[in-house]
Amino acid sequence: MMSTFPNNIKSNLKPVVYLNIGETFFSNGYHEIRTILGSCVSVCLFHEQTKFSAINHILLPKVSDFKEEQKSLRYGENSMEHLISYFVKQNIPRYQLKAKIFGGTQSPLLPNFQAGTKNIQFVTDFLTYEKIPIASRDTGGELYRKLSFHTDSFDVFITKLQPQAISEILIQEKHFETKVKERMLKKTSIFNFNQ
């Protein structure tokens, strides 16, 4: 779990930050945030008047029942609340924010893995409930996305990638999902104490 609070850097050369699964980034300066999205979803939140912005990288919508996972920012409900709290601490009302959402790929390599669809639905419902308008979106489909978010202008640039070209990301997403399922199974296992 990682959150980054950078200093306000004013430069023609934007520092580049690479965002991984379960990380968030907050800025009121000049940064380029890069990440790669498969079934994961990133939400870019921003406040035009103050130039504050934030981005996350969500793996799954809901927190698992496993104790160690309760505060993990890999889960949408934790990550989105974390982003919102940043703006609230800056005295920025939620209703003044705008959002851009990206990701949620349904890879043909994993036809039974529905995390992408669930992630899209979760963030859409969350933003609707919070009355935060979605300024733009690029979600779903079969192609992965290489995302570049510029915090000074709130511009987002997307490059579409074939899943086969980035099998490492596919493996990482599947690994996290498997670990969560394993932990949930362990919690409900039946143990024989007579042995």
The CA distance from 103 to 134, in Å, is 14
Q: For position 140, what pLDDT does the model report?
A: 94
195 lies in a domain?
no
The reported pLDDT for the residue numbered 21 is 92
pLDDT for res 158: 96
Q: Is residue 192 part of a domain?
A: no
Token pair in block for residue 66? 């496993």
Residue range of the domain that includes 17: 2-186
Distance CA 64, CA 183 (A): 9
CA angle 85, 86, 92 (to 5 degrees): 90
Q: The domain that contains 43 carries what CATH number?
A: 3.30.1330.200
Q: Is residue 21 part of a domain?
A: yes
pLDDT at 16: 93
Residue 9 pLDDT = 41
User: Considering the domain boundaries, does residue 191 fall inside one?
Assistant: no
Classify residue 82: in a domain, yes or no: yes
Give the pLDDT means over successive 10-residue stretches in the chain (195 positions): 46 82 93 93 97 95 69 90 94 95 84 84 96 96 93 95 63 56 43 29
Q: What is the pLDDT of residue 97?
A: 97
**Phi, psi dihedrals of residue 119, rounded to the nearest 5°:** -65, -45
Into how many domains does the chain fold? 1
Q: What is the pLDDT of residue 63?
A: 74
b/e sequence 160-175, b meaning 16+ C-beta within 10 Å: ebebeeeeebbebbbe
